[in-house]
Amino acid sequence: MTETPDKRFQHRDIDWLNFNKRVLQEAADKSNPVLERLRFLAIFSSNLDEYYRVRVSQLRQIKKIKKSLRKKLALKPSKKVKQIIKDVKEQQIEFGEIFKHEILPELAENHIHLIQHKDFTKNQLTEAQDIYQAKIKDLLEPQLVDFDKKNQLFLENNTIYFFIAFENEEEAGVVNIPVNQVGRFIELKNSGEEHYITFVDDIIRAEIHEVFPQRKVEGIYQVKMSRDAELYIDDQFNGVLAEKIYESLEQRTDGQPTRLLYDAEMPKELQKKLRKHLGLGKIDMMPGGKYHNFSDFFSFPDPTDNPKLQYEALIPILHKAFESEEDYFKIIKEKDQLLHFPYMSFSYVENFIEQAAEDDDVVAIKISLYRVADESALTSSLLKALEKGKEVTVFIEAKARFDEENNITWGRKFEEKGANVIYSYPKIKVHSKIFLIDRIENGESIKYAYVGTGNFNAETSKIYCDHALFTAHKKITKELDRVFKVLEGELIIPRAKNLLVSPFETRREFTQMILKEIDEAQAGREAKITAKMNSLEDEEMIDLLYRANKSGVKIRLLVRGFTSLIAGVKGLSENIYITSILDRFLEHGRIYIFHNGGEERIFMGSADWMNRNLNRRIEVLAPIFDEDIKQELKEILQIQLDDNVKARVQDYTQKNEYVAHDPAHPIRSQYEIYNYLKKKHS
């Protein structure tokens, strides 16, 4: 434990790299199957691309603020960017070591060989030439770059290119690598039980003389540009906001450069020429390996079909109540029900919406959609409900980053079929995962509610650990109806006394609950706060936790991503213990438990303790009233708190050290939870 803290908050962008370091740890973990390790490298690469496009771009935007104002606000973007570059370089070196010296040899041991063009046999070279002529040649768009002419070259965001040095140093060549059209990996003919795969890049390398036939090639270097992904849109006019976003999506491909990743083997003089030609600063240049866009390894094939190379599939657990009775309305009206993904199937959610669409007694369905799947049973059921004449209200979040186009497209489909479609509000996002069904039973309106921690997306539900509450409890349904009235513009404030709804009650209620624990601790009584979230960044909440720490409140947090709170510091946070779990599934649930003098209060929903979740997003957290569900959530959370296999300690050291492991009693929480639920629902 450190004695003298020199700061109260860790910068979120620096600690985010600490999170991505944990992803790299999973790639390095030899207990993981080799193809899963490869996918963790893909996750690391994908995360880093988004980080540069979003977070680093924001730091770059801060640099445009006048220096005098930046000084007043204590903003030092250049210092942060330099720290980021240093940390990323170190991680990328480790990344290369894991890939070259661990994963490639293990793939080879399992008869999968990822080969470069220089390793092609005579027969493989002939095969590569045939593939080039038949599938690749016509997709290439070679360009010549004259270094004496500026602004001649534009590199699209996240697209990989070859930058080619010629004998004539006054010019260079650039050619796209058409991954979207032909895929990144090409399977060559196998030899016995040995399977050979090559990058499409290597087939182009082998035929580069065909691409630039009149020039002598001196070197071939892969490059990739990351560009600003933020859509800087004046959103004061709500009625046209969705259209403005839709029209502005091209900014994603031609935004400000935030990083040029290049092959570190590129000669320095050529690096300099390329940098100046693109109008980049030295800080924008990031050396990398021979291959970029490792996120493409999500699609790496397994020609052996060897089950040992991947995680063993977990058969979805059948939910006891939903399997016992076809009428979901009856089940939910009798008792609140809880689902857990990916341990259980998302089909239960889809089935309920389908039942609502078919049920003649259902008069209205209201739902908020943050990330809409391309095609799904859920969206089909909503369209069916419209066909059957039901009132359907769909709130579409048009500002869900990287999903704007798909969300707006679906919004238009719903509008065409007669739905009441509401798009984003100015200055605020709707991040809640909620729906409400209105059903007439014996002449009375009965409402059924859903509050979840994850998106309405069947595909992501297979890899995201989330929770979903179904309830007909009037205290929840009545207030959720008010939330939808806010979304529809009928109310300004939902006046919730039970739900926590941002940006209205959530901060105030969390503050009161923490202050209650402080009062209990100061009175010498037991005081505890236990919480699980994705990220912890809000400084007001962190200061409250520091204050609770000084009062003796025991604080146990599970934070998957970054945290700006610095734990384990004497006099500041010695009573705060934080772990982070990274495993085969992405931990995504949010659960908050306050001891409350022995009468525990438990909430679950969509909000993290981040400024945006408390102040600038419409979020919904539901109180857990059902005692069985309360116990179930507590037991699941306790299994995660006890994890000693995939949990890392998050404290002032930033070492990502694993929780002390007892070989005789290993607790790998995701598997323990699966077994717990399997037993409970057997």
Neighbouring-strand partners of residue 365: 392, 437
651, 2 in Cβ contact below 8 A? no
577, 555 in Cβ contact below 8 A? yes
538, 614 in Cβ contact below 8 A? yes
| CB half-sphere exposure, 117, CA atoms < 13 A | 17
Neighbouring-strand partners of residue 532: 558, 591
Q: Which two tokens stand for residue 300?
A: 């790496």
47, 13 in Cβ contact below 8 A? no
Q: Which two tokens stand for residue 200?
A: 């499409």
Distance CA 454, CA 460 (A): 9
DSSP type of residue 56: I
Distance CA 513, CA 501 (A): 15
Q: Which two tokens stand for residue 123?
A: 């027969």
User: Could you give the 3-state DSSP secondary structure of residue 135?
Assistant: helix
Q: Which residues are catalytic?
A: 431
* Torsion angle, alpha carbons of 89, 95, 101, 103, to 10: -170
641 Cβ neighbours under 8 A, 6+ residues apart: 530, 556, 558, 579
Distance CA 519, CA 522 (A): 5
DSSP type of residue 115: E
Element containing residue 387 per DSSP (H, E): helix 377-387
User: Could you give the 3-state DSSP secondary structure of residue 163?
Assistant: strand
111, 195 in Cβ contact below 8 A? yes
Q: How many residues does the chain have?
A: 682
